[in-house]
Amino acid sequence: MAEGKIKIKLIRSVICTPEKHKVIVRSLGLKKINQIVERPDTPGFRGMVLKVPHLLAVVD
């Protein structure tokens, strides 16, 4: 894993989830299941991941 970056993976579908959860997932740049995006390791992005831990996973 690159220093200062986290890889976030969408592991569950956002269908039948509250609209707030869908907004969080889309704002991270995730559209499809098993898609992985790399984002800066900041408290803001960590907080977004912690809001929907049942949908996202941090990948090494």
Query: Could you give the count of Cα atoms lying within 13 Å of 37 in the half-sphere of its Cβ?
Result: 17
Confidence check: pLDDT of 1 > 70: no
All structural domains of the chain with their residue ranges: 5-59
CA-to-CA dists, residue 24 to 2, 3, 34, 41, angstroms: 23, 24, 16, 16
Mean pLDDT of the 33-40 span: 98
Neighbour tally for 56: CB within 10 Å: 21
User: Any idea which fold 5-59 has?
Assistant: Ribosomal Protein L30; Chain: A, (3.30.1390)
DSSP 32: S
Residue 12 binned pLDDT confidence (cut-offs 50, 70, 90): very high
Tell me the pTM: 0.89
